Amino acid sequence: LPNSDGQLTTHIRQSIDEEALSSWMVQQPALAKLLFASDDISADGASLQQRWLKQRLDVRQFGFGQSNPTYLLTVRDIKLVLRRKPSKIAHPSSHALHREYRVLESLTQYNQRLRNTQHHESLDRTIPIPHPYAYCKESSIIGSEFYIMEFVEGRIFVDPKMTTIGSTEDRVEAFRDAVRVLANIHNVPWWEMGLENYGGGGRKETSGGDEQPTYIQRQLKRLLQVSSKQSELIKASSRSN
């Protein structure tokens, strides 16, 4: 997608059952509050809300992304993003959307806590993330696990060198901001935000007196397994074409 910086959308390339999605969305309290708060339909039953939403829901798929198919959902002037697990996966534990969603929820709570306490601080220590609205672990709705989050206006840089940024000053500022956000992430007290059991960190773990691989060692081993499986899938796809 030349000159698009990845933000363009296309027609749906991996199909979604929009009727089933609409039915699920109206049953999620956070989404229902967002979609129906200022409309007379908020007082009607779920079946009427579903019909109303199905008629107004526009679904497009982002043209660029990594790992997971991602869609833009538009309902009137409200924009949301749906991120789903792909139909073909390289490893059973890959694309763990429930873990992504858990981190987003925790960081959302962290940001809110900061906003309530850092009124007089000049340094912004929040983490720039979209607001998570709802998660679905069932594959019966649209064919795979997914979650819905806030749509945030911005640019998606296809080239990691960010060559589409015009001036040197703007490029320097962009990289400085990336460093600032990384520093903010490292300052998150994850043990206070419900993530204390999220991973083993860099410690040696023991089980019955036996030393176990650390979290980082397990991740490296798993990434190598995923990479090998992805290569097999690519080769198989090339042969079929």
Q: What pLDDT shows up at residue 218? A: 79
Model-wide pTM > 0.85: no
Which residue ranges in the chain fall short of pLDDT 70? Answer: 1-6, 38-44, 64-66, 88-94, 119-121, 199-211, 237, 240-241
List of residues 6+ apart from 184 with CB closer than 8 A:
124, 125, 126, 127
Q: What pLDDT shows up at residue 3? A: 47
Residue with tokens 């990384």, as numbered in its chain: 182
